Amino acid sequence: MDDVKAAIRRIPDFPKPGVLFYDITTVLQDPKHFKKIVDELVRRYGPMNISKILSMESRGFIFAAPLAASIGAGLVPLRKPGKLPYKKVAQSFDLEYGTDSLEIHEDAVEKGERVLLLDDLLATGGTAEASVRLARKLGAEVVEAGFVIELTFLGGRDKLSDVPVYSMIQFDS
């Protein structure tokens, strides 16, 4: 994964001053890098008997869709407010640069279903923590929270202390 890590572009002061943004578009533009990520996700999660992948808006969808299709799991989008048309459950959370909220359809998962949470990036952990809460509100069993990239210096993993966490690529600063 060193080649994939090297391809991730870093953009200072985006979306606001003081924030260093890790841009995956450079990885997505290279089919070898993109395939390598998806293949690694399939290798890891294929044997885990996951019924649904809950993925956070919006970059998580990019990785969750091919993974779900490859392992025979359903895909459940966790969306920002106002994007889902049916009855939903919401959870607010803090970001490293503000606050936000995620929603899920109330019938998206069944009680006891084994679900994977998947996103492109783990930073401060607010989005992931909110996703775990949403899944559990609906009675799902969260098998793992998976990420392509983890910014270890922000400590997001600490907010997920009761959920196994996996990240492919780590940045320590």
Active site residues: 59, 96
Q: Which two tokens stand for residue 155?
A: 């400590």
Cα separations in angstroms, 108 against 78, 111, 147: 10, 10, 21
Identify residue 148 by its one-letter amino acid code. Answer: V
> Between the CA atoms of 31, 34, 36 and 37, what dihedral angle is there, to the nearest 10 degrees?
180
Q: Which two tokens stand for residue 162?
A: 């009761």
Q: How many C-beta neighbours within 10 Å does residue 36 have? A: 16
